[in-house]
């Protein structure tokens, strides 16, 4: 009996020692996710490393899938099989990027790897390395084209109608007290109206006029909330700005979820702000929450004259990770995501245009301030 038991145990041990260890795949890593576009076709070799306990050959299907980067325009779609085994835990695939000489925003696509019914997705980012084209000009000032190679016009208002398009825009009225924001949160002095004396379309331009009336001030403020809300792209606004102590024109954006998360968690992008006592300088700013309120701001100044002399083009180029500000196609500020908690700038935003009077930043008008003051906007265009 004892000999039989020993014999049985020996057999069991032999069977267990001969049994092949199971392969367990827990995931994959890739060595590169950011690529530069270039001006010609670029073929990048990307290395994939398998993770887990690998004791047998592991064939993995992969394919490149479109995102904002499109087949035939930005990338070539490829697919195939990556083969891994115990002695070879890495494999490579080719990623083909189609280059050009046209400025574009950062684009992305996805490489999908599939093994035993499980899919693993990795975003691939293509950064443009082309400069903006030199700015154009006419007798009124600087201007930008209404088309760009490799980009499509998503939305625009050329202000060519006889009245403001209320399908896209809403007037904001009063002094903010009606929404429990007296002074619009900045101790501003104006009352916003929708009267023609404060806002009108004239000869293909939007004209917002700040006036001194009956010991107070009136102006106008419009927004695209719930009508035109956009995410990412190149945004061009051609405008001529007012000036004077206490005058505060702005072209800016707020996150569409402001009613849910409030400000500043919704995010704010100030495409252009000017304080009238410094009429040759404009500012670009973001406001956001990263556990606490934070902001990041930059500015640029004209070498001569000021922004009331003629039209200039105020531009941001906004992708999922970066916002860059330009005046007349010259960059002056960039803001990038550096592990910001609750990064708000990957959601849709709406536009606001206004001319404030007074407030915490510019201070009140004084005896040097001349009224009326006007911000004249030729167009706003969004390309993606």
Question: How far is the C-alpha of 191 from the C-alpha of 212, rounded, in Å?
Answer: 10
Print burial letters for 168-199: b (CB count within 10 Å at least 16), e (below 16).
Answer: bbbbbeebbeeeeeebbeeebbbbbbbeeebb
Give the number of other CB atoms < 10 A from CB of residue 80.
Answer: 13
Tokens of 160: 């060519």
Task: Give the list of residues 6+ apart from residue 325 with CB closer than 8 angstroms, or none.
Answer: 271, 284, 298, 314, 315, 316, 331, 332, 333, 334
Is 188 annotated as catalytic?
no
Q: Are 116 and 28 in contact (CB under 8 A)?
A: no
Task: Identify the active-site residue in 125, 172, 188, 273.
Answer: 273
Element (H, E) at 50: strand 42-53
Question: How far is the C-alpha of 367 from the C-alpha of 346, rounded, in Å?
Answer: 44
The angle subtended at Cα 38 by Cα 122 and Cα 348, nearest 5°, is 50
Task: Identify the active-site residue in 104, 172, 256, 268.
Answer: 268
Is 273 annotated as catalytic?
yes
Q: Are 276 and 260 in contact (CB under 8 A)?
A: no
DSSP-derived secondary structure letter, 104:
-
**Chain Cα centroid distance, residue 132:** 17
Task: Please give the span between the terminal C-alpha atoms of the chain, in angstroms, as a whole number.
Answer: 83
Print burial letters for 109-121: b (CB count within 10 Å at least 16), e (below 16).
Answer: bebebebeeeebe
Q: What amino acid positions are annotated as catalytic residues?
A: 268, 273
């Amino acid at each position: 009996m004892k000999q039989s038991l020993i014999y049985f145990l020996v057999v069991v041990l032999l069977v267990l020692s001969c049994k092949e260890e199971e392969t367990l795949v827990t995931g994959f890593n890739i060595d590169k996710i950011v690529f530069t576009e270039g001006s010609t076709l670029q073929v990048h070799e990307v290395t994939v490393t398998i993770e887990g306990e690998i004791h047998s050959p592991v064939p993995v299907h992969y394919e490149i899938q479109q995102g904002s980067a499109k087949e035939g325009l930005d990338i070539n779609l490829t697919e195939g099989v990556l083969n891994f085994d115990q002695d070879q835990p890495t494999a490579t695939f080719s990623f083909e990027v189609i280059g050009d000489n046209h400025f574009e925003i950062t684009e992305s696509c996805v490489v999908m790897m599939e093994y035993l019914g499980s899919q693993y997705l990795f975003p691939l980012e293509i950064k443009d390395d082309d400069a903006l084209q030199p700015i154009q000009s006419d007798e009124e000032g600087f201007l930008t084209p209404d088309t760009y190679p490799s980009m499509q016009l998503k939305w625009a208002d050329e202000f060519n109608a006889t009245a403001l398009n209320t399908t896209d825009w809403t007037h904001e009225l009063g002094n903010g007290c009606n929404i429990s924001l007296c002074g619009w949160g900045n101790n501003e002095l104006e009352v916003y109206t929708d009267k023609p004396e404060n806002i009108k379309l004239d000869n293909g331009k939007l004209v917002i006029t700040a006036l001194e009336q009956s010991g107070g001030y009136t102006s106008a403020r419009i927004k695209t909330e719930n009508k035109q809300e956009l995410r990412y792209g190149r945004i061009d606004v051609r405008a001529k700005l007012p000036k004077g102590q206490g005058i505060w024109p702005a072209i800016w954006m707020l996150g569409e979820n402001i009613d849910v998360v409030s400000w500043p968690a919704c995010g704010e992008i100030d495409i252009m702000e000017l304080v009238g006592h410094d009429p040759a300088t404009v500012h670009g700013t973001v406001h956001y929450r990263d556990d606490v309120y934070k902001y990041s701001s930059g500015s640029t100044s004209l070498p001569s004259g000021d922004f009331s002399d003629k039209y200039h083009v105020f531009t941001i180029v906004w992708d999922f990770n970066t916002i860059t500000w330009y005046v007349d196609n010259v960059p002056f500020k960039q803001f990038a995501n550096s592990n910001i908690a609750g990064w708000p700038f990957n959601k849709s935003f709406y536009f606001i245009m206004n001319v404030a009077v007074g407030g915490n930043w510019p201070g009140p008008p004084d005896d040097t301030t001349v009224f009326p003051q006007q911000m004249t906007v030729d167009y706003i265009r969004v390309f993606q």
